[in-house]
Amino acid sequence: MKIAFTGTGYINKIHAKAAQSAGVELAAIVNHKADSMLEFGNQFGITRQYETVEAMLKDGGVDALVVSTPNYLHAAQTIVALHAGVHVMVEKPMAINANEAVQMCAAAEKSGATLMVAHCWRFDPDVLWLKEQSKKLGKIIRTKGIGVHTHWGPTGWFTQKEFAGGGAMADMGIHALDTARFLLGDPKPVSVYAKIGTYYKDFDVDDTGVMIVEWDSGATSYIESGWWQPHADGPEAATQLYGSEGFGELFPTRLELPNNKEKGIDALESGFEFPRKEHCPQSLYDKQLKYFVECIEKKQTPIPGGLEGLINMKIVDAAYRSSATGKVVKIK
């Protein structure tokens, strides 16, 4: 399998390392900055270099594409690749808004090519442990999730609405959102209420936000997002599950189960290290890209695929509308 990359930033270098680990051929790179593309190509032994996805597709010889460009390019680059029969893994958020995400899903359905969205926490061992053990918690009543950077935040296009679409909610909140939804078994959203703003830096996108999502399962999720925050209750994707029969959480990853016989609490520890040496280790992305390749080879629809990414975009869009209007937004 021959895989190409559009974008030469930090995250695509992580994906390129994952591709090397998966044993696929790193075939081409696309970027509008020649010097950045040359550096990326030298690092990963990629000689085919292009300014546009269209030029790369014209030359052929590519089976799959990893899209890790600024958000405003995600839809266009993904759609043109899918129409050419090239499988795509696109970074989160999958698009600027849900309307673009719908078009991306339609392109995948029409072409038959695979579309996967890089919601990486679904491949994390702590997350998978909690998902399995959460059966012991009974019915999940509510969740709390964290998507926050403390004393730090991104620069460049991330902070510009025309290129990013949204700020911390679209960048970090979506990690906490997708993790909660995955742990809940991917329920459908019913409504969203949010308060989002910019308080710590001079951006035209948000650096602070909270949202409450009501799910069709009856559960409610509270999500915090932020850059440059003075404090966070946990690291990226930290999640708490409040069940009818107990409590579970990520980072540290464990369960608390009432022991009615002894009138106490039994703790079930995951055994995973916390805090980690690296909170987002390379192994997380290795598993994600390996799964992408396996889905292509087995002709399986990936989860998270276009549908999961689209639902997350609908929720994020609703959060911004709710914050702007001060009202609860229903999701169809």
For 47, the 3-state DSSP assignment is: coil
- CA dist., res. 207 & res. 149, Å (int): 10
The per-residue pLDDT for range 120-179, each reduced to its tens digit, is: 999 999 999 999 999 999 999 999 999 999 999 999 999 999 999 999 999 999 999 999
What pLDDT is attached to residue 247?
A: 98
Count Cβ atoms below 10 Å from residue 73 Cβ, excluding itself. Answer: 21
Q: Is 295 in contact with 302 (CB distance < 8 Å)?
A: yes
Task: Give the pLDDT confidence of 192-233 residue by residue, as tens digits.
Answer: 999 999 999 999 999 999 999 999 999 999 999 999 999 999
**CATH 3.40.50.720, the chain: domain bounds:** 2-120
What percent of the chain stands above pLDDT 90?
97
The three-class DSSP label of residue 199 is coil
Check residue 179 and give its pLDDT: 98
Confidence of residue 259 (pLDDT cuts 50, 70, 90): confident
Among the residues of the chain, which ranges form H helices?
10-22, 34-44, 53-59, 71-83, 98-111, 125-133, 161-164, 168, 174-183, 282-298, 306-325
Domain 122-284+312-330 in CATH: superfamily?
Answer: Dihydrodipicolinate Reductase; domain 2 (3.30.360.10)
Residue 264 pLDDT > 90, yes or no? no
Residue ranges of the chain that CATH labels 3.30.360.10: 122-284+312-330
237 three-class SS = coil
**Where does the pLDDT of residue 107 fall: very low under 50, low under 70, confident under 90, or very high at 90 and above?**
very high
On average, the pLDDT of the chain sits at: 97
* Four-way CATH pick for 2-120: 3.90.1170.50, 2.30.29.30, 3.40.50.720, 1.10.150.240: 3.40.50.720
Residue 91 has pLDDT above 80, yes or no: yes
Quickly state the pLDDT bin for 263 (edges 50, 70, 90).
confident
pLDDT of 262 above 80: no
Tens-place pLDDT, residues 265-301? 899 999 999 999 999 999 999 999 999 999 999 999 9
pLDDT at 81: 98
pLDDT given at position 40: 96
How does pLDDT run across 48-82, given as a tens digit for each residue? 999 999 999 999 999 999 999 999 999 999 999 99
Looking at residue 231, the DSSP 8-state letter turns out to be -
Give the whole-angstrom CA distance, residue 150 versus residue 91. Answer: 23
> Does pLDDT of 261 surpass 80?
no
Q: Which residue has the higher pLDDT, 260 or 39?
A: 39
